[in-house]
Structure 1
Amino acid sequence: MSLKEYLKGKVSDDELKKVVRSFEIIGDVVIINLPDEISHLKDLIVEAILKKHKHVKTILRKVGEVSGEFRVARYEVLYGGETETIAKEFGCRFLVDPTKVYYSSRLSSERERIARMVKEGERVLVMFAGVGPYAIVIAKLAKPSEVIGVELNPKAVEYFRKNVKLNKVEGIVKVYEGDVRDVVPKLEGKFDRILMPAPYSAENFVYLVRDKIKKGGYVHYYTFAGEEEEEKLPEKVKELFRKHGMVVEVLNVRECGSFAPRVYRYVVDLRVVDFIQ
């Protein structure tokens, strides 16, 4: 039974229309969007969630969008209180606290998709690595020689290091704390694949890729765009990389989540064909 089905007959039709159908489950923590005009229904909504998901220990209401240097949203506790949890995806476990670090279970299939593309022996760089989901899923599902993750938020780095141990990938995944602008230029050698999972600002960091990607290497570039922009996205991204000295071939453009009405998160899979001197 869905949230709307549970509430039908218990609230007015007008209130029911404002109830957001889906919510995110991270381990045993639930995150919901609850508009102010129906915030008085929170006890009923908590009751509905607990009836269906008996393992849940905490329910959070999102009261502020992802923002700030560390890209963390703001929440109000509706039920429970313990916000640290263990999320599971594709045989990996992630210790995480969504009130302190960014993590989305909704990107798990995208992380698996990328991992399945990684060839044996590849050296991979994950910028904006967070608590390590991309890096660790790649290390567990593929056979890379090394995966380097760079993250700015000290709390996320703390969880990232714990998650590397939790998933027993110490020999493959290396954690670097700091700003990618400082860390990436100092990394030795080049990479077969670079991930840029920061759709809000990845375009500002494309210049870092040129000296770190091998010719023929792959880049996974994430961005937000309106649905009317999707058609123009390949050319826009090619031009962006050209501006920073790289000729790229667009292999795939894929929607991987919504950000706002008619605005989506897209990933553009690229292959670096050549460099412009």
Structure 2
Amino acid sequence: MERMTLKDYLKGKARDSDIALLRRGFEIIGDVMIIDLPEQLMYLKDDIVEWVRLKHKHVRTILRKTGEVSGEFRVARYEIIYGGETETVAKEHGCRFRVDPTKAYYTVKLSGERERVARLVKDGERVLVMFAGVGPYAIVIAKLAHPSEVIGVELNPEAARYFRENVKTNKVENVVKVVEGDVREVVPELDGTFDRILMPAPYNAGDFLDIALKKIRSGGTLHFYTFSGEEEIDNKKEEIVRKIEYMGYNARILFWRECGNFAPRVNRYVLDIEILKP
């Protein structure tokens, strides 16, 4: 059982054609597991729960994803197929994050990306995290680097509540400031400029470029996240640079990479962009 995959476990319990439809992987946040199970495979629910209980004994709740991240609060839709408690505590890079994935967005799949960005932050930098969620980027940066200040802006009241709690839990109150509100309204009112701005909202970060550009210092770095088809990413990079230049700034892509799968041949990408003001 130790090495048996879910597909192996289901052999003999389900049609081969149905097993082939199972989507890749699952996500475990603390003791909550999220699975992507198509409606036509719901007859396998009990077998899947049994496999999870054997393979991942610490999991106490299993959520089936029924809708993608959407709405102004960026929360996906789920149904509980096992257990009941959806609030949990996730751990990464020596940090603890309390979160309820049914109320606020959080994914462990960006843990490596959060560490990558944190390692880029130089001593004394002032950092802004737009769409900050429950605080993973802001808090990991505060823990792994030595910024002078990290401001996280979040609209979702539940996410902001968890963010404030997580700041206290991780003892970074002297570095991280939580601002609850709409990025478009809040960010222009923040004092000064920032050395680094993160925009981890791949669905619509482009709609807020104008706000970020006005608050970044010349020579600062913008971490821009977006979804793109594998064949379109080069065009997407050019499109974003053109958009920034159209707004009157000079842009140079320092680095880019895939940082997660969204759908077949569609991925999440991050672009590290140096911004120079004329």
The interval holding the TM-score normalised by the smaller chain is: over 0.9
Aligned 1:222-261 pairs, distance under 5 A: 222-261=225-264
What is the distance in 2 between the residues matched to 1:106 and 1:140? Answer: 19
Paired residue for 2:210?
207
Q: CA RMSD in A?
A: 0.9
Moved more, 64-73 or 139-148: 64-73
Q: How far did residue 273 of structure 1 move?
A: 2.4
Paired residue for 1:90?
93
Q: How far did residue 80 of structure 1 move?
A: 0.5
Q: Choose from 9, 14, 17 the match for 1:11.
A: 14
Instruction: Encode CA deviations 1:91-118: one digit per residue, 9 max, x unaligned.
Output: 1110000001111111111111100111
What is the distance in 2 between the residues matched to 1:25 and 1:256? Answer: 18
1:52 aligns with 2:44: no
CA contact 1:191–1:217 (8 Å) conserved in 2 = yes
What is the distance in 2 between the residues matched to 1:229 and 1:274? Answer: 28
What is the distance in 2 between the residues matched to 1:211 and 1:76? Answer: 41
What is the distance in 2 between the residues matched to 1:200 and 1:16? Answer: 30
CA contact 1:4–1:21 (8 Å) conserved in 2 = no
Paired residue for 1:191?
194
What is the distance in 1 between the residues matched to 2:70 and 2:122? Answer: 34
What is the distance in 2 between the residues matched to 1:190 and 1:239? Answer: 23
Q: Choose from 144, 148, 152 the match for 1:149.
A: 152
What is the distance in 2 between the residues matched to 1:208 and 1:58? Answer: 39
Q: How far did residue 263 of structure 1 move?
A: 1.3
% same residue: 65
What is the distance in 2 between the residues matched to 1:85 and 1:37? Answer: 29
Instruction: Encode CA deviations 1:148-199: one digit per residue, 9 max, x unaligned.
Output: 0000000000000000001000000000000011100000011000000011
1:108 aligns with 2:111: yes
What is the distance in 2 between the residues matched to 1:104 and 1:221? Answer: 17
What is the distance in 2 between the residues matched to 1:148 and 1:121? Answer: 14
What is the distance in 1 between the residues matched to 2:28 and 2:214? Answer: 39
What is the distance in 1 between the residues matched to 2:89 and 2:42? Answer: 28
Q: How far did residue 9 of structure 1 move?
A: 2.2
Which blocks of at least 5 consecutive residues in structure 2 are unaligned? none
- Give aligned pairs, total: 275
Instruction: Find runs of 4+ consecutive structure 1 residues off by over 6 angstroms.
Output: none
What is the distance in 2 between the residues matched to 1:114 and 1:208? Answer: 21
